[in-house]
Amino acid sequence: MARKTTQNERVKIAQQVIDGVYGYQEAADAYNVTYQMVYGWVRKLKAGGPEALVDRRGKAKEVAEQSAEDKLKQENRELRKRVRELEVAEALLKKSGKFNEGRIVKPVSS
């Protein structure tokens, strides 16, 4: 089981592999992480520099960083969620017998 690492550790480990101090497996063994993690860090460091090794799991992009396509996708997700919520509410009303052809009907008193 690999351990959690900080961004500075990831940069240090990847840089040591790039500099030839360690091979991928040697670095993984020396720092108690997996080969796949080291390989990914090296690839990301070469492609995007140290900022590419920031852990952003579970964090959405800032609105300013989003492209027009990303904004449309987010809006689409929100609208789909709202439609689903309305469908569930409608189904509950139908099941309770208080929904009739798009109109809410008052229960009949006996």
Q: Which tens digits make up the pLDDT trace of 71-89?
A: 888 899 999 999 999 999 9
CA-to-CA distance for 85 and 102, rounded, in angstroms? 16
In the chain, where the domains are located: 7-53, 63-100
User: Is the confidence at residue 91, as pLDDT, over 60?
Assistant: yes
Q: What is the pLDDT of residues 44-74, one digit of tens each?
A: 999 999 999 998 777 776 767 778 888 888 8
Which of 27-31, 72-76, 100-104 is least confident?
Answer: 100-104
Task: Please count the other Cβ atoms lying within 10 Å of the Cβ belonging to residue 70.
Answer: 13
pLDDT surpasses 60 at 103 = yes
Q: Please list, in sequence order, all residues whose beta carbon lies within 8 angstroms of the beta carbon of residue 50, skipping any fewer than 6 positions away.
A: 7, 11
Residue with tokens 């709202």: 82
The pLDDT of residue 88: 93
